[in-house]
Amino acid sequence: MAIIHHTTLSPTKLELLTGWLPLRPWYRGAEGSAQLEKAGGFRLDDPEGEVGVEFMVAADTSGEEPVAYLVPLTYRGAPLEGAEAGLIGTLEHGVLGTRWVYDGAHDPVMVEQLLALLAGRTSAQAQGETDTPDPTVEVRAEGAGVRPGLTGPGKVGDTGAGTEILVGPPGQDGALTLTLTRVLRPGAAAGKGLLGQVLAGWSAPGGAEQRGVFASLRG
């Protein structure tokens, strides 16, 4: 169980993301710095209690129209070997000290807990409260469903709309594709090969509540 500390962060999460987001291939805002505000999300618990896992929605108002981005983040007390491509930066936590912040697509703890969520073996937690499930996060099994025991990440690749992560049973990495929807839009996923999806809500600039796919698994 992750313990949520209400304390200072320097820089803040949004300050870290302001320089990182515009460098992503799926970024849709204006050139230069993003103008971000927190717009929703949820957490997943690390069974070992070492890594913080947060699915943050950041709304950007720098372009002609606001865009909501999904940014899964992991927080670690030391660098993650082999995940240099996923490092967003470091911040100083008022209680825990220096934290290394990663794009969760490159972190095996986030990927495996997201797969556990899709398989019904764990539950989403409230973004800002300790030991509090978030009942608004919906997991839908599709087709043959998501079997337990999947691992990852394998190869991680960004497209113009999201991030694709190859996952699979032990010894068969790459059998399935786990997709993170980076540019959020209302509605559910559909189509060939869909095995499961996670739907959650966020607040659009102006206060309108929206709901769509955060992640999906296909094979």
For residue 130, what pLDDT is reported? 79
Q: What is the mean pLDDT of residues 156-180?
A: 87
Provide the terminal-to-terminal Cα distance of the chain, rounded to the nearest Å: 31
Is residue 72 within 8 A of residue 110, CB to CB? The reply is yes
Query: Phi and psi (nearest 5°) for 42?
Result: -155, 180
State pTM to two decimals: 0.93
> For 83-99, how does the pLDDT look when each residue is reduced to its tens digit (9 = 90+)?
999 999 999 976 667 99
- Radius of gyration over every alpha carbon of the chain, rounded to an integer in angstroms: 16
Q: Is 111 helix (H, G, I), strand (E, B) or coil?
A: helix
For residue 31, what pLDDT is reported? 74
| Other beta carbons within 10 Å of 203 | 16
In the chain, domain spans: 9-218
Is residue 42 within 8 A of residue 125, CB to CB? The reply is yes
> For 101-121, how does the pLDDT look when each residue is reduced to its tens digit (9 = 90+)?
999 999 999 999 999 999 999
Q: What is the share, in percent, of the chain residues with pLDDT greater than 90?
A: 71
The torsion defined by the Cα of 28, 43, 140 and 218, in degrees rounded to 10, comes to 60
Can you read off the two tokens belonging to residue 116? 């556990």
> For 2-57, how does the pLDDT look when each residue is reduced to its tens digit (9 = 90+)?
655 556 666 999 999 999 999 999 999 877 678 999 999 999 999 999 999 999 99
